[in-house]
A and B are shown apart, each in its own frame.
Chain A
Amino acid sequence: MSTLTTDIAAGFDVARIREDFPVLKQTIHGKPLVYLDNAATAQKPHAVIDAIVKFLSVDCANIHRGVHELSQRSTAAYEETRTKMKRFLNARSKNELIFVRGTTEGINLVASSWGHKNVREGDEIVVSAMEHHSNIVPWQMLCEAAGAKLRVIPIDDRGELIVEEYARLLNPRTKMVAVTHVSNALGTINPIKEIVAMAHRVGALALVDGAQAAPHLKVDVQALDADFYALSGHKMVGPTGIGILYGKSKLLNAMPPYQGGGDMIKTVTFEKTTYADLPYKFEAGTPNIAGGIGLGAAADYLTHIGLDQIAAYEHELLLYGTQALEQIPGLRMIGTAREKAAVLSFVIDGIHPHDIGTVLDRMGIAVRTGHHCAQPVMDRFGVPATTRASLAFYNTTREIDALVAGLHKVKEVFS
């Protein structure tokens, strides 16, 4: 069980790729680090670290301000990321890309700016039962303020959206459908193109939470026809504190600013302020410049390896890992969707995930335990928490073997 089957996966030089990630070369509690918490945050390659170090040590200045050399360099490097992310997501224009702190802020921006302008009493917002809290709570807050209703697309026992139920929820009062592209807790890949098209048929908009999709599959916002698409840099081997909100320009143009301040204005007097054009209207204050530059390097790095290659290799890892874990007596996978990213979320009879996580940690294996900021998913499957191993393209079948050995040790301790 140690070979991978497809040509792409077999030709994927994971040993060389691992050389790009300095963090992987360490031991934890005397064991080689096995990092399987990629859905929480991905590790960073030299290319990203070096880009940030170069900015901070050579090019550091504020952007969009000075006429001096350093300011021009930093502005160029930061804005270059917008162009790179436009290509990465296949947006029509770089002005449709707003820098935000991460997916959470991107969703809050839309819920706050678009929501308060467009959502009225009696309107409806649709989310799914597999959403991360960040794609539930902002909409709940909006609904509470506007007197609107939050409706939830149910999921089945595999962790797939029930599309027929979704169809029944849609009606002329539906104003927004906010759904995740890939579930962080279950790994489910949702049929986003279909979900968006169905929303559009009743005149609703669609926002896609792309936090878990961007690092693992090729995203084309035009092909999906998403109205908004939000992602986080740190899930896609970039730094924390930086992300992108994509929005169709006609929608962004019609929305009021999210925050007021410097950089988002054309003119300011005490009588009246006129706002900057896109994308700057939504970018008040000095942003995370180093993070933005790191994100550009991350997009380049993933593009260089190839999202299709990454997806194929990770799929092989998923199959290998699923088969290996299912051999463990008493283990139940949570999330068995037919279309699935490389997330292995599971429970073991009689053993709490926190105890599993602690024993694995002592063996150098990093997994996430808990509710994964998706408490409604836990309720749906009737478990308080799960253990989640989430894989990335730098993981190996040997690391999955180490996880399996670790779980046998867990069973030995608690049997």
Chain B
Amino acid sequence: MVDDLYQETILDHSKHPRNCHVLGGANHHAEGYNPLCGDKLKLYLKMKDNVVEDASFVGSGCAISTASASLMTESLKGLKREEALKLLERFHDLLTTDSPVTKELGKLVVFCGVRDYPARVKCATLAWHTLKSALENKEEPVTTE
């Protein structure tokens, strides 16, 4: 019934989020906020020589936004800044267009069901909005609105 949205991997990451802690030694961080549902997220990045060495998050949110943050932090490790931004673009296309699923997305393809639930797209993109802000080291919390 809702299996297309809540795929096994999403449920797993929402119940047991990975990288869900404050990151010591982080040199980039940002806050994200979805004013529609009150979800809040803090993202931490440890960047070295333009590469994401480590990533983590803390926050409270729905299953979709928690799983998205969890899977995002996993996917980011080892990526160059430009590659991370490219992945963000691909992820955004996955949720909002009918574009074919590309293999760069890896595990993130589990979010393909979200495109059929327009009200939930912002849940899935909150972490990624925050990523953009963290890479730019913005002071102001970014919102999904």
Q: Which residues of A contact B (CB under 8 A)?
A: 351-355, 358-359, 362-363, 369-371, 375, 378, 384-385, 409, 413-414
A-B contact pairs, 10 of them (CB 8 A): A354-B37, A355-B62, A358-B5, A358-B117, A375-B38, A384-B38, A384-B39, A385-B38, A413-B2, A413-B6
Residues of A within 8 A of B14 (CB): 414
Residues of A within 8 A of B120 (CB): 354, 358
Among residues of A, the one whose C-beta sits closest to the C-beta of B39 is A384
**Minimum C-beta distance from B6 to chain A (A):** 6
B1 touches A362 (CB 8 A): yes
Mark out the residues of chain B between 47 and 102 whose CB falls within 8 Å of any chain A CB in the assembled complex: 60-64
Distance in angstroms between the alpha carbons of A384 and B123 in the assembled complex: 14
**Minimum C-beta distance from A27 to chain B (A):** 14
Distance in angstroms between the alpha carbons of A332 and B120 in the assembled complex: 24
**Minimum C-beta distance from A230 to chain B (A):** 25
Secondary structure at the A interface, as helix, strand, loop or mixed, is: helix
**Minimum C-beta distance from B70 to chain A (A):** 14
Residues of B within 8 A of A371 (CB): 37-38
Contact of B11 among A358, A378, A385, A414 (CB under 8 A): A414
A378-B38 in contact given A358-B120, A359-B2, A413-B6 (Cβ < 8 Å) = yes
Among residues of B, the one whose C-beta sits closest to the C-beta of A410 is B2
A414 touches B39 (CB 8 A): no
Contact string, B1-35, partner A, CB cutoff 8 A, digits 1/0? 11001100001001100000000000000000000
Contact of B62 among A352, A363, A378 (CB under 8 A): A352
Interface pairs A-B: 5 shortest CB-CB: A352-B62, A384-B38, A354-B62, A355-B63, A355-B62
* Interface residues on chain B, number (Cβ under 8 Å): 21
Q: Which residues of B contact A (CB under 8 A)?
A: 1-2, 5-6, 11, 14-15, 36-40, 60-64, 117, 119-120, 123
Distance in angstroms between the alpha carbons of A363 and B2 in the assembled complex: 10
A352 touches B1 (CB 8 A): no
Distance in angstroms between the alpha carbons of A375 and B123 in the assembled complex: 19
Residues of A within 8 A of B37 (CB): 352-354, 369-371, 384-385
Among residues of B, the one whose C-beta sits closest to the C-beta of A375 is B38
Residues of A within 8 A of B38 (CB): 370-371, 375, 378, 384-385
Distance in angstroms between the alpha carbons of A414 and B11 in the assembled complex: 7
B2, B5, B36, B40: most-surrounded residue (chain A CB, <10 A)? B2
Residues of B within 8 A of A369 (CB): 37
A358-B2 in contact given A384-B60, A414-B63 (Cβ < 8 Å) = yes
Distance in angstroms between the alpha carbons of A353 and B39 in the assembled complex: 11
Among residues of A, the one whose C-beta sits closest to the C-beta of B119 is A358
Among residues of A, the one whose C-beta sits closest to the C-beta of B62 is A352
Residues of B within 8 A of A414 (CB): 11, 14-15, 63
Among residues of B, the one whose C-beta sits closest to the C-beta of A351 is B63
Residues of A within 8 A of B2 (CB): 358-359, 362, 413
Among residues of A, the one whose C-beta sits closest to the C-beta of B60 is A384
Distance in angstroms between the alpha carbons of A362 and B117 in the assembled complex: 11
| Besides the known contacts A355-B64, A384-B37, 4 further A-B residue pairs in the complex with CB atoms under 8 A apart | A354-B120, A359-B2, A370-B38, A413-B11
Distance in angstroms between the alpha carbons of A362 and B11 in the assembled complex: 17
A352-B11 in contact given A358-B2, A371-B38, A384-B39 (Cβ < 8 Å) = no
A352 touches B61 (CB 8 A): yes
A354 touches B64 (CB 8 A): yes
Distance in angstroms between the alpha carbons of A358 and B61 in the assembled complex: 14
**Minimum C-beta distance from A310 to chain B (A):** 31
Distance in angstroms between the alpha carbons of A375 and B37 in the assembled complex: 10
Among residues of A, the one whose C-beta sits closest to the C-beta of B66 is A352
Residues of B within 8 A of A375 (CB): 38
Distance in angstroms between the alpha carbons of A355 and B60 in the assembled complex: 13
Residues of B within 8 A of A358 (CB): 2, 5, 117, 119-120
Residues of B within 8 A of A378 (CB): 38
Among residues of A, the one whose C-beta sits closest to the C-beta of B3 is A413
Distance in angstroms between the alpha carbons of A378 and B15 in the assembled complex: 23
Residues of A within 8 A of B123 (CB): 354
**Minimum C-beta distance from A107 to chain B (A):** 21
Residues of B within 8 A of A351 (CB): 63
Distance in angstroms between the alpha carbons of A385 and B62 in the assembled complex: 10
Distance in angstroms between the alpha carbons of A384 and B60 in the assembled complex: 8
Distance in angstroms between the alpha carbons of A338 and B127 in the assembled complex: 41
Distance in angstroms between the alpha carbons of A414 and B5 in the assembled complex: 13
B11, B36, B62, B123: most-surrounded residue (chain A CB, <10 A)? B62
B36 touches A370 (CB 8 A): yes
